[in-house]
A = this chain, B = another copy of it.
């Protein structure tokens, strides 16, 4: 089966559903996922794609839909979670460093768990320190490095890579050039990866 790039931003609400179940899905299906954090807010601002701001009816539906889907996956969020995230960029800079050092997935899952299940927004304290520590890294060193120009540039380059693929939202699954947007397209992406074996 072809590997699947899992493009996501910490800050996306629907990505909670993917982040929390992806390890189980990988085990069950044999799919392999490369976690690729990017800055979805930058993409959406550039493309004038504003799904929820000033759209109370659609926003209310989004939370209800996430609640129902979470129940189906055995997840227990407290909804609505704090939204939007002021610390979106920093949360994803930390994830970007985590990719290099091998703890991105563990950090991201804990950051989402604290955000969606404990009311502690990702990208700010105490979420940052708790999630980085949970992932086995040193918060002071990580936060200093994640805020630096090297990681800032790397997140920006990954965001440009996502845009080159035609990505406009999070989560998006990519199998080669074929992209699948939304947690609800995860099965379609896995089917595609199987056919691309």
A binding-site residues for B, Cβ under 8 Å: 47-49, 54-55, 57-58, 60-61, 65, 68-69, 72, 163, 166, 168-169, 179-181, 184-185, 188
Minimum distance in angstroms from A87 CB to a CB of chain B: 26
Contact B166 A61, beta carbon cutoff 8 Å? yes
Q: Report B-chain residues with C-beta under 8 Å of the C-beta of A57.
A: 47, 163, 166, 168
Given known A68-B188, A184-B184, A188-B68, contact A55–B47 (CB-CB < 8 A) = yes
Contact A58 B47, beta carbon cutoff 8 Å? yes
Cα–Cα, bound, A185→B48 (Å): 26
Number of copies: 2
Q: Which of A54, A57, A181 has the most CB of B within 10 A?
A: A57
Cα–Cα, bound, A166→B47 (Å): 26
Minimum distance in angstroms from A61 CB to a CB of chain B: 6
Please give 6 more A-B residue pairs, beta carbons under 8 A apart, in addition to A47-B58, A48-B54, A61-B166. A57-B166, A57-B168, A61-B168, A61-B179, A65-B180, A69-B188
Q: Report B-chain residues with C-beta under 8 Å of the C-beta of A58.
A: 47, 49, 168-169
Q: Report B-chain residues with C-beta under 8 Å of the C-beta of A65.
A: 180-181, 185
Cα–Cα, bound, A60→B165 (Å): 12
Minimum distance in angstroms from A43 CB to a CB of chain B: 9
A182 — nearest CB in chain B belongs to which residue? B184
Query: Could you give 23 example pairs across A and B, Cβ below 8 Å?
Result: A47-B55, A47-B58, A48-B54, A48-B55, A49-B55, A49-B58, A55-B168, A57-B163, A57-B166, A58-B169, A60-B166, A61-B166, A61-B168, A61-B179, A61-B181, A65-B180, A65-B181, A65-B185, A68-B188, A69-B188, A72-B188, A184-B184, A184-B185
